Amino acid sequence: MKQFEGKVAVITGGGSGFGKEFARLGTTLGMKLVLADVQQEALDAVVAECKAQGAQVIGVRTDVSKAEQVQALADAAMAAFGEVNLLFNNAGVGAGGLVWENSERDWEWVLGVNLYGVIHGVRIFTPLMLAAAERDPSYRGHIVNTASMAGLLNPPAMGVYNVSKHAVVSLSETLYQDLSLVTEQVGCSVLCPYFVPTGISQSQRNRPADLANAAPPTRSQLVSQALSDKAVSSGKVTAQHVAEMTFDAIREDRFYIYSHPQSLAPVQQRFEALIAQRNPGDPFADKPGMREELSKALRG
């Protein structure tokens, strides 16, 4: 997909982080925008900003974990603009702690947003894009699923998040293969960011009341939260930069998008260990001292 002007982009998680920057860049490129977020105030602010810059844009409050709300988002996009060219399955939340300490509600919340949000987006929007491609040989579409470097590694005290993001990578790779069997007009990519200041480490602010834990956070969950806040806030690569990298990848039809390609050594080591049947190595190999800091904090 080379041209963006006049094309329609649907962006989940559009009220903050990567989603907000996708919307800003889409506005600059002359795209029509359908923004979705569970946080109404944040969504309204980005919609207003894009409108002020001249964009045709609508906002639809959406909990992506709910299939019927993602369907309503698709219906709104089609009613407003008639087709969808770009889909960013971007909404995400974070949670940590030792994996056996994550509650059933933790799993339901994180998998609901991070995984089922992508599942619903792929299931509902892909047929719309394929139908557009069948009607018009000049149509081009692209789907970007936001995963994480945690979808390629398995850092400790992040189990529920790791599982969700590994599943998104697998879903995206399968989507790539499946699309290649039926069309050359619709592509896809998977975005695997590392530590980027986006606000995801504070995603508890949007956790539904019915999925809140009755018990207070465990020591490991508090430690994981503190380390996540520190790592994310200290990130040098901005969400704006990642958005620019993502649009470049769409233009070039590149599948894997890394915010920190220089940090892929642990991924290579992980796959080498898989092939050699070695025990898992240190996913923090490129961050000396982080494992020791985490272990010390957990042991008190």
Q: What is the pLDDT of residues 244-293, one digit of tens each?
A: 999 999 999 999 999 999 889 999 999 999 999 999 988 877 776 777 88
Given a contact cutoff of 8 angstroms between Cβ atoms, the answer to whether 124 and 176 are in contact is: no
The alpha-carbon radius of gyration of the chain (Å, integer) is 19
| Euclidean distance between CA atoms 40 and 242, whole angstroms | 24
Catalytic residue among 116, 139, 161, 194: 161
- Examine residue 288 and state whether it is found in any structural domain, yes or no: no
From residue 88, give the alpha-carbon distance in Å to each of 59, 111, 144, 165, 263.
Answer: 14, 18, 5, 15, 24
Cα torsion 114, 120, 126, 132 to 10°: value is -120
- Examine residue 277 and state whether it is found in any structural domain, yes or no: no
- Examine residue 54 and state whether it is found in any structural domain, yes or no: yes
CATH of the domain at 140: 3.40.50.720
- Secondary structure (DSSP) of 58-118: EEEE--TTSHHHHHHHHHHHHHHHS--SEEEE-------B-GGG--HHHHHHHIIIIIIHH
Q: What is the pLDDT of residues 175-208, one digit of tens each?
A: 999 999 999 999 999 999 998 877 766 778 888 8
pLDDT confidence of residue 294: 84
- Examine residue 300 and state whether it is found in any structural domain, yes or no: no
The count of structural domains within the chain is: 1
pLDDT confidence of residue 291: 79
Q: What is the mean pLDDT of residues 22-26?
A: 98
Q: Pick the residue with more confidence: 68 or 1?
A: 68
Q: Pick the residue with more confidence: 204 or 127?
A: 127
- Examine residue 94 and state whether it is found in any structural domain, yes or no: yes
258 is catalytic: no
Q: Pick the residue with more confidence: 6 or 199?
A: 6
- Examine residue 282 and state whether it is found in any structural domain, yes or no: no
Other beta carbons within 10 angstroms of residue 13's beta carbon come to 32
Consecutive H or E run containing 165: helix 159-182
pLDDT confidence of residue 201: 64
Percentage, residues of the chain above pLDDT 90 = 80
Q: What is the pLDDT of residues 138-181, one digit of tens each?
A: 999 999 999 999 999 998 999 999 999 999 999 999 999 999 99
Q: What is the pLDDT of residues 82-95, one digit of tens each?
A: 999 999 999 999 99
Range of the domain at 45: 8-263
pTM of the model: 0.95
Query: pLDDT at residue 229 above 90?
Result: no
Mean pLDDT, the chain, integer: 94
Pick from 61, 63, 71: nearest CA to 35: 61
- Examine residue 296 and state whether it is found in any structural domain, yes or no: no
- Examine residue 221 and state whether it is found in any structural domain, yes or no: yes
| Euclidean distance between CA atoms 231 and 3, whole angstroms | 36
